[in-house]
């Protein structure tokens, strides 16, 4: 059986994580935490509890008020443990709301189970195993890679065609990416310019 890894958001109150540990089966625990909570008594108590149970706690340090930091931290932890063959679950009951929301979004996009363990455990409705990258076909990836800098749509087509894709496929890919806000298309001086959407650009980089 694959090892079960529970990735949990954590603030100061260890009871929120302990509730998840009681409800969700796990073999090892990863905490997403940052700031003062890394020096708090809650973490010391949690570590002691895990030690008593023969386990250890892996800490992923994030800035709990910075969404990209929390999102990347969660996504990296999920991917690292999945690559190692683990079955990953995420619990978002602890820590700041920013951290919980970022961890939740990372879980949706990575297709792993996300749980809220407050009064009772609640699994969020996510299609297990369905990830955002499933929708990124090779031609869509090629377009995203080509528009690292803003480019006229015709040049994007020229570049991506070199990789063996038809112009129609490239146009369809640009349209798909525009509708999902991966890229923006602006007409400047009569020319359609394709760029990565600044709102999602940092995230797109992690997909390529």
Partner 1 sequence: MTVLFGTLGWRPQSLMPSIKSTEGLELVVFYHSAHEKSRAARSRVAEFCSTLGVAVTPVELSDAFDLLEIAGRIRQDVLRVRREGQGPARFNIAGGTRLMSSAALLVCVLEGIPTTYVHDETFKEIQLPLIHMDYADHLSERQREILAYLVAHRERPPSETSLAKALGVHKSTMNHHVKELVAKGVVEVAADPKDTRAHLVRAAPGAELLVG
Residues that bind partner 1 (CB under 8 A): 65, 67-68, 71, 92-93, 96-98, 100-101, 104-105, 108-109, 113, 116, 118-119, 122-130, 132, 134-135, 180-182, 199-200, 202-203
> Which one, 27 or 181, has the nearer CB to partner 1?
181
> Which one, 46 or 103, has the nearer CB to partner 1?
103
> Which one, 122 or 191, has the nearer CB to partner 1?
122
| Rounded least distance, CB 107 to partner 1, Å | 10
| Rounded least distance, CB 48 to partner 1, Å | 26
| Rounded least distance, CB 12 to partner 1, Å | 14
> Which one, 48 or 130, has the nearer CB to partner 1?
130
Provide the pairing of β-strand 151-152 with 183-188: unpaired
Per the CB < 8 A criterion, the answer to whether 78 and 103 are in contact is no
| Rounded least distance, CB 174 to partner 1, Å | 16
> Which one, 67 or 192, has the nearer CB to partner 1?
67
| Rounded least distance, CB 100 to partner 1, Å | 6
């Amino acid at each position: 059986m694959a090892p079960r890894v529970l990735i949990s958001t954590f603030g100061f109150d260890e009871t929120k994580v302990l509730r998840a540990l009681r409800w969700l089966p796990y073999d090892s625990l990863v905490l997403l935490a940052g700031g003062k909570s890394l020096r708090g008594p809650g973490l010391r108590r949690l570590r002691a509890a895990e030690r008593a149970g023969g386990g250890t706690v892996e800490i992923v340090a994030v800035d709990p008020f910075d969404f990209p930091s929390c999102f990347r931290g969660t996504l990296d932890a999920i991917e690292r443990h999945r690559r190692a063959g683990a079955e990953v679950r995420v619990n978002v009951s602890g820590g700041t709301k920013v951290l919980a929301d970022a961890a939740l979004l990372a879980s949706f996009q990575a297709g792993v189970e996300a749980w809220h363990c407050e009064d009772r455990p609640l699994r969020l409705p996510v299609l297990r195993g369905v990830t955002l990258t499933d929708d990124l076909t090779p031609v869509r990836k090629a377009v995203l890679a080509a528009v690292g800098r803003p480019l006229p749509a015709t040049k994007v087509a020229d570049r991506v065609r070199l990789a063996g894709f038809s112009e129609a496929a490239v146009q369809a890919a640009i349209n798909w990416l525009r509708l999902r806000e991966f890229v923006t298309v602006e007409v400047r001086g009569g020319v359609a310019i394709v760029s990565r959407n600044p709102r999602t650009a940092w995230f797109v980089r992690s997909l390529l």
